Amino acid sequence: MSLTVRFAPSPTGLLHVGNIRLALVNWLVARRAGGTVLLRLDDTDDERSTPEFAAGIERDLGWLGLTWDRKARQSDRLALYTEAADRLKAAGRLYPCYETAEELGLKRKSLLARGLPPLYDRAGLDLSAAGRARLEAAGRHPHWRFKLDHQPVSWSDLVRGPAQFDGADLSDPVLVREDGRPLYTLSSVVDDIAFGISHVIRGEDHVANTAVQIQLWQALGGPVPTFAHLPLLTDAAGHGLSKRLGSLSIASLRDDDGIEPMALLCLLARLGTADAVEAHLTLAELVESFDLTRVSRATPRFDPEDLTRLNARLLHLTPFAGVADRLAALGLDGVDQRFWLAVRPNLTRLADATLWWQISHAPVTPTLTDPALTRQAASLLPPEPWDETTWGHWIEQIKVATGIKGKGLFLPLRLALTGTDHGPELKSLLPLIGRPRAVARLNGLLA
Ligand code: GLU
């Protein structure tokens, strides 16, 4: 059987770094093995799922380059879930229950008060035909629970190692709601069987589901896949990410923070492994270096500052061809490789390039801290054409003429030429600024 994985987000919100780590790990495992990726939208909850969130998921994955080979939407497949539920009913594995949410809440409370685990008591199983008829006549509709075998369930988890549960310690899960709609526990297994999913790679919040779902796989006659449950990301202080998910959404990292897709992917591919984070320019390089067995059970911490640093490192490596279109889209008309190579060592975000573009292509108000020096420096500027060696020759001449060197020389020149006290190397900026602007600025003129 060829390797097939799925990424199965529910379109009930924006994708965030935690979701993308799972999407990426699935994707890398599949691409490394020459396998297949299914994107499945788990949208059976039609109160919370929206087409806008579904479109956002596809947009975010597309932006990251996490392609899929097949796509499915659970809302298109409801008949299959009903058919599977009917088979389970016929086999005596799905039974009707009539408790209201309040009644279930009271049962739970009373078990907990007695120090007992809050397991469902299987009252539905004991209902007689007459008892059911009475409830239905009173207007009650059943929800349906899966009758678990009270037996050990075990699997060998690719991240957690040997895992074991006992069916007797779990509540029979509800698979079909009162209104007839299937729940995730059922629809997910039906689809995993239908699409031949060989590896289920998901968050460790699903470990108990796996115990239940393995019995469901067996009841529905599908081959049980291999499982890997990854620990959930926390923030740098070790707290859950749930409160910060808005700012850690892919949309916000992309649109507000200027994060490059590969920066995010390079960081997420290595979080939770002992391997160093490396800046790779392509997903193909990440595929080559990825190994699921390196992902540990320890809680991985996500620090946005690591991401910012990696973003900068990645931009510093990016060739002009990799950003030319985006720079043009930022309004840098006629931008060329010379400009890019001059400014990229100073960028944390691509959009920061616009600042250096303005400084080299638009009027700047110079800051004169030593007017005598900068005026004299202007008079020593050689004729164009200029290149990266121009600066060194010019500086030598100024030193000889004025006897000034070091910071006392460089800072007044930088402030006059660029209006700011930091930025790309002046030997690279000077040819971009050009002689007319340089002369004017050194003389204190807006140019
Ligand atoms: N829609 C489920 C979730 O987002 C999918 C879990 C799974 O991978 O089975 O948690």
- What DSSP string runs through 297-342? SSPPEE-HHHHHHHHHHHHHH--GGGTHHHHHHTT-TT--HHHHHH
Tell which atom from ligand 1 comes closest to the C-alpha of 200: 8
Give me ligand 1 centre to Cα 369, in Å. 61
What separation in Å is there between the alpha carbon of 122 and the centre of ligand 1?
A: 27
- Nearest protein Cα to ligand 1, atom 5: 8
Q: How far apart are the first and last CA of the chain?
A: 68
Give pLDDT, residue 376: 98
Q: Which residue's CA is minimally distant from atom 4 of ligand 1?
A: 9
Single out the residue in 332, 357, 382 at which a domain terminates. 357
CA–centroid distance, 303 to ligand 1, in Å, is 24
Q: What is the residue with the minimal CA distance to atom 3 of ligand 1? A: 9
Atom of ligand 1 nearest to the CA of 22: 8
Q: Does residue 307 lie within any of the structural domains? A: yes
Q: Which two tokens stand for residue 208?
A: 């108990």
Domain annotation covers residue 365: no
Tell whether 284 and 304 lie within a shared domain.
yes
3-state class (DSSP) for residue 175: strand
Question: What are the backbone dihedrals phi and psi of residue 27, each rounded to the nearest 5 degrees, phi first?
Answer: -65, -45
**How many Å apart are CA 205 and CA 239, to the nearest integer?**
15
The encoded tokens of residue 255 equal 């649109």
CA of 158 to the centre of ligand 1 (A): 18
Q: Which pLDDT score, from 0 to 100, does residue 1 have? A: 61
Looking at the fold, whether 232 and 337 belong to one and the same domain comes out as no
Q: Which of 55, 28, 10, 21 is nearest to 268 (CA)?
A: 21
Range of the domain at 408: 371-442
195 lies in the same domain as 287: yes
Structural domain contains residue 364: no
Atom 10, ligand 1: residue with shortest CA distance: 9
User: Which one of 159, 176, 193 terminates a domain?
Assistant: 176
- The tokens for 289 are 């270096």
Domains in the chain: how many in total? 4
Q: pTM here?
A: 0.93
CATH code: domain of residue 158: 3.90.800.10
What's the pLDDT score for residue 154?
Answer: 98
CA nearest neighbour of 206 among 189, 219, 223: 189
The residue with tokens 């492994």 is 273
Residues 196 and 303 in one domain: yes
User: 308 and 341: one domain?
Assistant: no
Ligand 1 atom having least distance to the Cα of 209: 9
* Residues 298 and 272: beta-carbon distance below 8 Å: yes
Confidence (pLDDT) at 244: 78
Q: State both tokens at 1.
A: 């059987």
CA distance 236 to 183: 34
Biggest CA–CA distance in the chain, Å, is 109
* Length of the chain as a residue count: 447
Query: Which residue has its alpha carbon closest to ligand 1 atom 6?
Result: 8
Ligand 1: distance of its center to the CA of 223 in Å?
Answer: 19
**Co-location of 78 and 108 in the same domain:** no
Q: How is residue 373 written in tokens?
A: 């020096």
DSSP code of residue 126: G
Last residue of a domain, one of 158, 176, 194: 176
Are residues 6 and 138 located together in one domain of the fold?
Answer: no
Same domain, 253 and 299: yes
CB-defined site of ligand 1, < 6 Å: 8-10, 42, 184, 188, 202, 206
Question: What is the CA(89)–ligand 1 centre distance, in A?
Answer: 25
Report the atom number in ligand 1 closest to the C-alpha of 40: 1
Full DSSP string of 392-443? HHHHHHHHHHH---THHHHHHHHHHHHSSS--S-HHHHHHHH-HHHHHHHHT
412 near 426, Cβ under 8 Å? Answer: no
User: Residue 8 C-alpha to ligand 1 middle, in angstroms?
Assistant: 5
Say yes or no: 79 and 208 in one domain. yes
Do 411 and 263 lie in one domain? The reply is no
CATH number of 303's domain: 3.40.50.620
Positions in the chain whose pLDDT score sits under 50: none
Q: Are residues 282 and 375 in the same domain?
A: no
Burial of 189 (0-12, 13-18, 19+ CB in 10 A): buried
Q: Best of 7, 22, 38, 42 to mutate for ligand 1, by most ligand atoms within 8 A of CB? A: 42
Q: Quote the strand ranges of 260-306, DSSP E.
A: 301-302
CA-CA-CA-CA dihedral for 56, 60, 66, 67, to nearest 10: 40
The DSSP bridge pattern shows strands 36-41 and 4-7 to be parallel
Q: What is the CATH number of the domain that holds 406?
A: 1.10.10.350
How far is ligand 1, taken at its centre, from the CA of residue 202, in Å? 7
